[in-house]
Amino acid sequence: MSSTIITNPIIWADVPDIDMIRVGDTFYMVSTSMHSMPGCPIMKSRNLKDWEIVNYVFDRIEDHAAHNLADGKGIYGKGSWASSLRYHNGTFYVCFSSNDMQQFYIYRTEDIENGKWERSVIKGLLHDPALLFDEDRVFVFSGNGDIYITELTADAASIKPDGIRQLLLEGERDGIGLRIEGCHAYKMNGYYYLFFIDWPRTGHGRRRELCYRSKELLGPYEYKVILDDDLGYHNKGVAQGGIIDTPAGEWYAFLFQDHDAVGRIPCILPLTWRDGWPVIGDGGKAPVTFQTNLPESVSMPLVISDEFDYEENKLALNWQWNHNPDNSRWSVTARPGYLRLQTGDIVDRVVLARNTLTQRTEGPACSGTTVLDLSAMKAGDYAGLVALQSGYGTVGIQAEDNGERYVVMGINRGDGGMEAVEKLEYNGSRIYVRIDFDFRDSIDLAYFYYSEDGAEWKAIGRPLQMKYTLDHFMGYRIGLFNYATKQSGGYVDFDYFRYTRMV
């Protein structure tokens, strides 16, 4: 019999608010993507350990100023939150709320890996939704602390006019900081099961996983705390998720854990049943490593190097744009073997710069390098690499009015604008830049370098103390950027992006 060793985390990168399903012998996972576009990545796996990005639910949610990083607006920390993924009668469904739009979105397709998604939009928020198909009826469980049930039409496209829409249950209040949210709903063996995260102020004072159950849809519900463990990592609770079974009938819980600046990372834990209750781990202790009866599989990288050698103007699925891109101002075919980023709107900071192309960073440590052809820059342009979060750090080339160029390491000075920590004159027409990320034991430092030849590297500026902040609500990403501070139309050609993960 084949077997796979699972070691947590299964992905040491920002893949938060995960939901999973199994169709046959294939597992599918969706996660929160907020302001990264395309959004709602669909990943697949044969063994719950090795995951590959195969599709996105949407290219963009909406097309207006905030989603386009226009007029000084943005959707940092908003966009798509906590998606729910389900499969019913040959159709895949994904639903989520968007806080900036105050709307609830439902997408459906018959081909989750290659298909286009049809969408429906419902006014109002259904916070952290859980979609449940109960024979010929469809329900959404949502809310924070006070959990509501909303009945949808049979096609899950709108709220059923005469359906159930009411308060279902109320989570505990005493000694609780974050009350129950992040619902995942199932109907099995005569019970309705609802899984939640909460965060008590008492006891260990960390996030934990709860399960509510009832034999009746509308209750009453009883509950148990089914996991209060940190996998030995800084009292960071492992919680928010649901459960999944294998073709052989084994059960697992899928949850995530905060790992500070790298983000919220997914974990898989063994699960058994006792008296109709799910039991995670052994005696409440979650194992870091354990063996499964799932098959070994090929491990596909989440973050990739890229030589930008494309036959059509379409990027690998590993890349996401920061907000909606302006597709008229980027290309991988205008100059074969290069990514061209042309400047557009005049801005003064990278977090307002459109067409910043990003990938996740990974723990325990990783590094990204690129080389830029500077010959078509205009005065005021700034281009290079960014460690992207609210507390960002950049390294790149700044063009001046007099034709001079400077290599600059910059950081968020505190109000979103950039402070140039170090600025050095640079005479070459090409420059290599690199950022090293160290997430070991949450040290969370980024280091910035430049080179004239790609062989001899020079440190610039100072290490960036990375911090996960809720205004972006996303782990640090590495991004390629080019923006104009004075005039639009200049461009930079990136020859490649090369990535290394240190394990």
CATH number of 100's domain: 2.115.10.20
Are residues 100 and 156 located together in one domain of the fold?
Answer: yes
pLDDT value of residue 358: 98
33 lies in the same domain as 93: yes
Distance CA 241, CA 209 (A): 8
Q: Among candidates 216, 221, 218, 178, which has minimal Cα distance to 200?
A: 178
Domain that includes residue 439, residue range: 320-502
210 and 331 in a single domain? The answer is: no
Residue 450 lies in a domain: yes
Do the Cβ atoms of 257 and 231 come closer than 8 Å?
yes
Query: Which pLDDT value is given to residue 301?
Result: 97
Task: Confirm whether 297 is domain-assigned.
Answer: no
Using the 3D structure, point to which of 255, 277, 292 is the last residue of a domain: 292
Name the domain boundary from 292, 307, 330: 292
Q: Is residue 333 part of a domain?
A: yes
For residue 503, the model assigns a pLDDT of 84
- Counting the structural domains of the chain, the total is 2
CB 435 within 8 A of CB 478: yes
Residues 372, 279: one domain? no
**CATH number of the domain bearing residue 435:** 2.60.120.200
Whether residues 418 and 282 share a domain: the answer is: no
Q: What are phi and psi of 335, to 5 degrees?
A: -130, 100
Count of beta carbons in the 10 Å neighbourhood of residue 408: 23
CB contact at 8 A, 9 and 48: no
Rg over CA atoms, the chain: 23
- Contact (Cβ atoms closer than 8 angstroms) between residue 170 and residue 147: yes
In a shared domain, residues 287 and 342: no
| Domain-located, residue 69 | yes
pLDDT of residue 469: 98
> Does residue 300 lie in a domain region?
no
Q: What is the pLDDT of residue 282?
A: 83
Domain presence at residue 339: yes
Residues 282 and 359 in one domain: no
238 and 134 belong to one structural domain: yes
Together in a domain, 267 and 387: no
User: What contacts 436, CB < 8 A, 6 or more positions away?
Assistant: 365, 366, 367, 446, 447, 449
Q: How far apart are CA 378 and CA 3, in angstroms?
A: 57
Q: How many CA atoms lie within 13 A of 80 on its CB side?
A: 30
HEC assignment per residue over 197-236: EEEECCCCCCCEEEEEEECCCCCCCEEEEEECCCCCCCCC
Does residue 342 share a domain with residue 204?
Answer: no
What does the alpha-carbon distance between residue 275 and residue 261 come to, in Å, rounded to a whole number? Answer: 40
| 305 falls within a domain | no
Instruction: Please classify residue 289 by burial: count the beta carbons closer than 10 Å to its beta carbon, then call 0-12 exposed, 13-18 middle and 19+ buried.
Output: exposed
Strand blocks (E) in 9-125: 19-23, 26-30, 36-37, 39-45, 52-58, 80-88, 91-98, 103-109, 118-123
- Supply the pLDDT for residue 376: 97
Going along 228-276, which residue ranges are E strands? 238-245, 251-258, 264-274
Do residues 286 and 229 lie in contact, with contact meaning Cβ atoms separated by under 8 Å?
yes
Q: Residue 117 falls within a domain, yes or no?
A: yes
Same domain, 225 and 334: no
Per-residue pLDDT 10s for the chain (503 aa) are 478 999 999 999 999 999 999 999 999 999 999 999 999 999 999 999 999 999 999 999 999 999 999 999 999 999 999 999 999 999 999 999 999 999 999 999 999 999 999 999 999 999 999 999 999 999 999 999 999 999 999 999 999 999 999 999 999 999 999 999 999 999 999 999 999 999 999 999 999 999 999 999 999 999 999 999 999 999 999 999 999 999 999 999 999 999 999 999 999 999 999 999 999 988 778 999 999 999 999 989 999 999 999 999 999 999 999 999 999 999 999 999 999 999 999 999 999 999 999 999 999 999 999 999 999 999 999 999 999 999 999 999 999 998 899 999 999 999 999 999 999 999 999 999 999 999 999 999 999 999 999 999 999 999 999 999 999 999 999 999 999 999 999 999 999 999 999 98
Are residues 343 and 207 both part of a single domain?
A: no
